[in-house]
């Protein structure tokens, strides 16, 4: 993509998130998003098929920035780096995650890490992990995701470093 296209996509994603702070996601129209992003409907439809697509794109962009540089392996899921990446993902994308939670939209985008995790777990050499990829994914992804979600909902009272220390401590229990 070129810089203008990237800028338009980003503007549209930011516009949707801004609108979601004011009104129910289900009532946001493409016209509302275009007006807020200062783009035409043609530009909108050049990049997206609808508001759900914008929402997914915003999450995918955030997800890729946080986790894209790593292979989704058991070693990564068990690493300190994964914990740090998860905390940073929630810290940097607080607005997006809070809006997704507020409007109960996480289920619409939750398949993204699930698909990657399930694929990775199914390729593990460990017989139990590869046989039960869904449980493996929940074990490694779900607990950190839930803890970080609770951190956001409570107003991020702890620093990211404190969250890392808390999770690391819990992993040793």
Contact 99, 20 (CB under 8 A): yes
pLDDT at 150 over 90: yes
| pTM for the full predicted model | 0.81
Distance CA 17, CA 34 (A): 13
Average pLDDT over residues 15-35: 94
DSSP states along 26-71: GG--HHHHHHHHT--HHHHHHH-SSHHHHHHHHHHHHHHHHHTTS-
Boundaries of every domain in the chain: 1-48, 59-172
- pLDDT tens digits, residue range 40-77? 999 999 999 999 899 888 988 888 888 888 877 778 88
- Find out if CATH 3.30.1330.60 is the number for domain 1-48: no
Cβ–Cβ < 8 Å for 96, 62: yes
The reported pLDDT for the residue numbered 115 is 67
Q: pLDDT tier at 121 (50, 70, 90 boundaries)?
A: low
């Amino acid at each position: 993509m070129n810089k203008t296209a990237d800028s338009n996509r980003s503007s549209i994603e930011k516009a949707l998130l801004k609108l979601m702070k004011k009104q129910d996601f289900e009532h946001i129209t493409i016209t509302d998003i275009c007006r807020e992003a200062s783009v035409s409907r043609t530009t909108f439809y050049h990049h997206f098929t609808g508001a759900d697509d914008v929402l997914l794109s915003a999450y995918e962009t955030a997800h890729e920035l946080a986790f894209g540089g790593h292979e989704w392996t058991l070693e990564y899921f068990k690493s300190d780096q994964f914990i740090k990446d998860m905390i940073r993902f929630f810290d940097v994308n607080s607005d997006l995650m809070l809006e997704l939670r507020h409007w109960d939209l996480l289920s619409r985008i939750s398949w993204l890490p699930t698909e990657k995790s399930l694929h990775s777990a199914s390729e593990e050499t460990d017989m139990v992990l590869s046989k039960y990829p869904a449980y493996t994914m929940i074990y490694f992804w779900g607990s950190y995701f839930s803890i970080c979600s609770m951190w956001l909902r409570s107003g991020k009272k702890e620093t990211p470093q404190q969250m890392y220390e808390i999770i690391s401590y819990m992993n040793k229990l």
